[in-house]
C-alpha cells in the first residue's frame, strides 16, 4: 500500500499557523502534516531544498522562482530595558532613539540608521556576541542597547525586565505565504485556498465546460441597476390608467348639457 506523502509547512518565528493547520487536518485527515519553525536565514531555503512545500515568511526573502501571497503586516516596536525612558511613553519615533545603541545591523532598520548619532559620528561600537534573539534580549535587559522588531517577535521573546513600545515612523513588516512556482501542486493549491479563506466546497478555479463561453461575472452595480429598473416597471404596471371622468349618462364633464343650452336660449 502506497503511503501518502507528507505535506510540510514551514513558518518563521512569530507567525502562528495553527488556525490554518487545524482546517487542513479537518479537510485532509488522511494527509500527514509536518509543521516546523525556520530561522530567518532559512525562510526560503527550506523551499528550495524540498524540506517544505510552503513557507510562511517575513519579508524580505530571495523571491527568485517563488510565488508569494501577502497575508498581513506587523507594526514595529522598540524593546529596551525596563528603566528606559520609553516605559513612560505610549509610542515613540526614531528620532527619540537617535542616541541609543542598536543591537542589530543598522541596515536592518534604515530609518534608525539615518538619524543615529553613533552612525553619524562613527562612534558605533561592535555588537556583543549573540547567538539568537534570546541572547539579544539578555543584552537589552542589561541596558546594553535596544532592538527594533516586529511586534510578534517582541511578544514571543518578552521578559519582565524589558518593555516595548510602537515606533511610529518605521516601516511595518510583511508576512507572506511563499512556495516554489514550479511546485504549485494540488496540495499547495489546497493550502492556498485555506489561507485565503475559501470554504471546503468552493472551487480553486472558475471551471467552464468544454466549448462553452465563460459567462462574465455580473458586477454589483449591474445588479443594482437591474433591480431598480424592475421596481420602476412593476410600479408602472401597478399604476391605474387615468380616464376622464364621466357623468352617469356617459357624457364628459366638458360637454355642455343639451337642457342647459335650451334654458340659455329660452331666456
Least confident of 94-98, 139-143, 258-262: 258-262
Peptide linkage before 17 cis (omega within 30 of 0):
no
Cell numbers found for residue 194: 485555506
d(CA 141, CA 157): 12
What value does the mean pLDDT of the chain take? 82
pTM of the model: 0.70
Fold match between domain 7-74+173-195 and domain 76-166: yes
Residue 175, pLDDT > 60, answer yes
**Is residue 15 within 8 Å of residue 61, measured between CB atoms?**
no
Write the pLDDT tens digit of every residue in 5-47. 899 999 999 999 999 999 999 999 988 899 999 998 899 999 9
Domain topology for 76-166:
D-Maltodextrin-Binding Protein; domain 2 (3.40.190)
Residue 228: pLDDT band (50, 70, 90) is low
User: Where are the chain's structural domains?
Assistant: 7-74+173-195, 76-166
pLDDT for 105: 95
CA distances from 54 to 8, 58, 95, 111, 173 (A): 7, 13, 39, 31, 19
Domain topology for 7-74+173-195:
D-Maltodextrin-Binding Protein; domain 2 (3.40.190)
Cell numbers found for residue 47: 523551499
Q: Is 68 helix (H, G, I), strand (E, B) or coil?
A: strand
Amino acid at each position: 500500500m502506497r503511503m501518502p506523502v507528507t505535506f510540510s509547512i514551514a513558518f518563521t518565528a512569530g507567525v502562528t499557523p495553527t488556525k490554518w493547520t487545524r482546517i487542513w487536518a479537518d479537510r485532509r485527515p488522511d494527509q500527514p502534516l509536518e509543521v516546523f519553525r525556520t530561522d530567518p536565514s532559512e525562510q526560503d531555503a527550506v523551499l528550495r531544498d524540498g524540506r517544505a512545500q510552503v513557507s510562511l515568511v517575513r519579508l524580505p526573502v530571495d523571491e527568485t522562482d517563488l510565488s508569494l501571497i501577502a497575508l498581513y503586516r506587523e507594526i514595529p516596536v522598540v524593546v529596551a530595558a525596563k528603566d528606559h525612558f520609553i516605559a513612560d511613553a505610549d509610542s515613540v519615533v526614531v528620532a527619540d532613539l537617535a542616541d541609543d545603541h542598536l543591537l542589530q545591523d543598522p541596515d536592518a532598520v534604515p530609518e534608525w540608521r539615518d538619524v543615529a548619532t553613533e552612525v553619524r559620528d562613527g562612534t558605533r561600537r561592535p555588537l556583543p556576541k549573540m547567538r539568537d534573539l534570546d541572547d539579544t534580549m539578555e543584552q537589552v535587559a542589561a541596558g546594553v542597547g535596544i532592538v527594533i522588531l516586529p511586534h510578534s517577535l517582541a511578544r514571543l521573546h518578552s521578559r519582565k525586565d524589558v518593555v516595548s513600545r510602537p515606533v511610529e515612523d518605521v516601516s511595518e513588516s510583511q508576512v507572506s505565504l511563499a512556495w516554489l512556482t514550479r511546485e504549485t501542486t494540488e496540495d499547495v493549491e489546497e493550502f492556498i485556498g485555506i489561507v485565503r479563506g475559501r470554504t471546503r466546497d468552493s472551487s480553486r478555479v472558475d471551471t467552464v465546460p468544454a466549448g462553452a463561453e465563460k459567462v462574465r461575472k455580473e458586477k454589483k452595480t449591474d445588479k443594482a441597476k437591474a433591480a431598480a429598473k424592475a421596481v420602476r416597471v412593476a410600479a408602472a404596471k401597478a399604476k391605474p390608467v387615468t380616464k376622464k371622468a364621466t357623468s352617469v349618462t356617459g357624457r364628459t364633464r366638458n360637454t355642455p348639457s343639451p337642457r342647459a343650452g335650451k334654458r340659455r336660449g329660452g331666456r
